[in-house]
Structure 1
Amino acid sequence: MIEILGLSVMLLRIATGAENVTCSNFCEQGANSTTETCNHISGACLHGCKDGFYGSNCTQRCSDIDVNCERCVEKNDNNGIECERCSMNNYLSSGKCLQCNYWCLVEPGSAESTCRQEDGYCNHGCKTGRYGFMCGERCSSTCKDVCHRDTGNCLECKYPSYCGPTCKMQCQDGCLLQQCNQSCQCVNGCTATHWGETCPTVCNTHCIKPADPSIRVCNSSDGTCLLGCEGERFWGNQCDESCSNNCVNGKCEQDTGNCSEGCSSRRVYGWSCNEKCHENCLGGTCKRADGYCDEECRVGTFGIECNFNCSENCKDTICNRQSGYCDNGCKDGSYGNNCENTCSTTCLNRRCDIIDGSCTEGCISGFKGRTCKTGNKINAEDTQPQIRNQQVYTTLQHRQDENHDTTKYDVLRFREENTTEQTMYENSGL
């Protein structure tokens, strides 16, 4: 049976013209060293190719296509190769091996590649004057020798008149000798006419300037004018505030701005003469210190500056200049210092005492008491000696007689009768 099978295989090879094929030495050995490495009919490697070779029979060299390629695979379309590993000092880019950038720093004797295999990053830094991921960027020409590998910032500036991260900014004109450090701070301080940390600001033009140009005009830290302000027409530490136009001769004190020679008009007040006298001042003038109106207030106003209105209930709308009290009394129907209270509606003719609001002409029919708020009941304030009510009655009866007002007479008679009855009741001891 075996002989028949062997004969059949031989006849098949004769019929097809096939012979035993020797496997390429570059076919990869399988996991088991005894297994075949290729198909003995086609020669195709069964476990892939050793590094540096490709093709179905692993007979083609990667380096024939890409000289720096150490391991590759054939593209699916059989159109060339795609490199998977490059030789030292090369890196992969889209399946090809490229040399590390010329500007990558070389580390002599190092077993590590000059650049990273997977992306070309320079492993040992950049040569002088270069920076960036692959050292492809040029440092600023004003950097001294080298710059930061990743950012490009200068580690030091080449010239003393330049500053900033990349040393492209010039020192401020206000720097003495125009020299500054990399942070742009003036190393020798400011010129006599400049101030600030980096000396960018010119001293105010209103500062007094010394005859000697080397003497400082203003403080280098805060700009304070060291010799004062020109012409006494400006004030403030930096002489940047104008004196009030209402100052006599336009002059004021440098520290406060107060008019040094007073106000040019009596229609303004305040130490800086910036406040107008109140419109309610008669004559329109007032005291400089507090705005007190020199003359009286306009009718209907009061206060130091006549800036308050008298109560509408003041008679003739006139009130005391200082207190605002209604000196001429109140209009009918009101009482109190400022006539702010209303007389009781049960006061006869709605008239009452300006001080305490007691009804001065008695009560309307049916009401009693000092403020006529008691109806049919008698309260404590009504139990006064009969003589008091009699005096009120007599006084008002006299007024009634003069005015022939019978209505008032009847009301007062009613009040007098009630008072008499109350007195009799109290004296009876009941």
Structure 2
Amino acid sequence: MRILFTVILLIPIGVLGQLGIKTKQHSAQNNQAYELYSLNHYQNVNHTAGGSVNYTYGAGSSNNINNYDMQYPPLHHGSGGRPQPYPGQPNSGSLVVVDKTVKFLNETRSKMASGVCYKEVKTVTLVSAGEIPKGNGSDPTLSKIRVCCDGYERNVHNFLQCDPICKNDCINGICVAPDVCVCYPDHVRNYAGYCLPTCPIGCGNGVCQDDGSCLCKPGYELDHFSKKFCAPVCSNGCRNGNCTAPEVCECSNGFELSDHGSCDPKCDNCENGKCIEPGVCTCLSGYQRKNDKCEPICTKECKNGFCAAPDICGCNPGWVLDASATNCVAHCDQPCLNGFCSGNNVCSCHTGYIQDEVNPNLCRPHCPGGCPNGFCTSPNYCICKAGFVKSGVKGRTQCTPV
């Protein structure tokens, strides 16, 4: 079903300012042409007490909308090039002055995308009065419906219209696409993306001069492109960021302020590497990307330790590097007598020796058969006490009385 959309306008002088449309008063000497319209020419229009206008939508329904959406007839000139009332209409009635801001709004909005998209939904979800409509989608179970595209929202005055969304307020401008703001005439976008008035209306961080130029305050300079507003000066240049005030640099997303005042790319876990762009870390020579970090490379295995730097081993606690600087050997605070250090302050005995029950760093010789009347002085070897001698059988460890 086609919906009739008719826009009819009636605006007395001065209503533009009340409705939020910026107007500009000009002196008599200014020979710029202005649009003059006879309001008696319009039909089917009603004014509300608040100064807004009723527009017809379809079968006689009315809706209050803001002057922001209004369209104006083309410029008409009479003889001598002077603006004239709209042709074919009486010369009585109030007149409207349309300045370049209003024309800018009309021209800009006429070029904007509708923001209307279509998507398929299950036809059964569109049941009305107990009846399931016939599907018009890719198959009978699906139907196409109008929705606002991503980045757009439904217009509060006209539910058939979708308006773009600008997350930051589009002050002194118009939001023409998602997060895209176009500045009004006599305004210019600064480095932060905001629309600032220019001379003679104003001069951000400066003073308008008689010749229409802008004289900047200390710590500011004319921007290098438009030469119409004063931008703060950061001596380091504020690369990858925005100089928000004199010598104050605010870094862009993905960058962070370094110690020397510049905005460097930001990476997580980029030790032993170089962050070449946001989130991209390149490891230095001798390192490789492993476990989401740059780890050193050792060409030889680090036994009982770890690779601490390229071809340099570090030892686990209780271990120390040997002369080769690649192997980690155990460390004991006290020497191991008749044994060797096998761990952190852990002694292991040589063959034929057993650990002393009192001193863990001492390994005593072991004689499996014992040494009655004598002493075990080496593995399986006894020395007799005074008054005792070994038996005459070779290899026997018994000590007998003399």
- TM-score class normalised by the smaller sequence: under 0.3
> Of the two, which has the highest radius of gyration?
1
With a CA cutoff of 8 Å and minimum separation of 6, indicate the structure with the bigger relative contact order: 2
With normalisation by structure 2, the TM-score equals 0.26
More helix by share: 1
TM score, norm. by length of structure 1: 0.24
